[in-house]
A and B are shown apart, each in its own frame.
Chain A
Amino acid sequence: MNPLDTVTGTLISGVVLTVILVFVAKAIVGG
């Protein structure tokens, strides 16, 4: 099932993507 098919799945995906990108940003800034 595609998580984007539900509002809840979409919002959870957005939060997960945000957390991943925070780590990416920290790696870029600190690296």
Chain B
Amino acid sequence: MELTFIDRWLHILAGVTWIGLLYYFNFVQAQAMAEAGADEGGPGPAAIGKYVAPRALLWFRWAALVTWLTGAYYLMAWPAYSLGGAFSLGFGAGNLQLTSIGIGAWLGTFMLFNVWVLIWPNQKKILGIVSATDEEKAKARRVAFLASRSNVMMSLPMLFFMQASNHGIPMG
């Protein structure tokens, strides 16, 4: 049981790291890069791309994986939950706790997919970690951007339902 409490703690710590960096990318870095690129005579966005973005992406993608793995373990280990019950959204169980955590878990899973399948491979092209033509880079930029923005959008209900599992939803 002690391991379950440590797992939950790790899940929250990794989740804060993941979503905090997601918000950094969307609310701070994207705007800063655009502004630096348009600032003639300024230092330009290169340093952000070289020194900040790769480090932020490293923490971002591994925090995402740790969040998902510790969350999946928690669903299996915590008595009120089950992995199958959560991912089947508690259908037929009449159990708000299970349905809420299940919605949160599905959203988190979509978000993890976006990080590892859409954002990271395309960011490698954008940052020059793997070679790509200008056309490929432009496409990669759009795909990574939309996947990242989709994750911001999904993070709102994901966080709502993760905490709603223990604290409820407006039922009126």
Contacts and interface: CB of A to CB of B under 8 A. Distances in A.
Contacts of B95: 29
A10 B171 contact: no
A15 B156 contact: yes
B99 A17 contact: no
Looking at chain A's contact residues, the main secondary structure is helix
Contacts, number: 58
Interface residues of B, number: 26
Interface of A: 2, 4-5, 7, 10-11, 13-15, 17-18, 21-22, 24-26, 28-30
Interface of B: 26-27, 89-91, 94-96, 99-100, 103, 146, 149-150, 152-157, 160-161, 164, 169-171
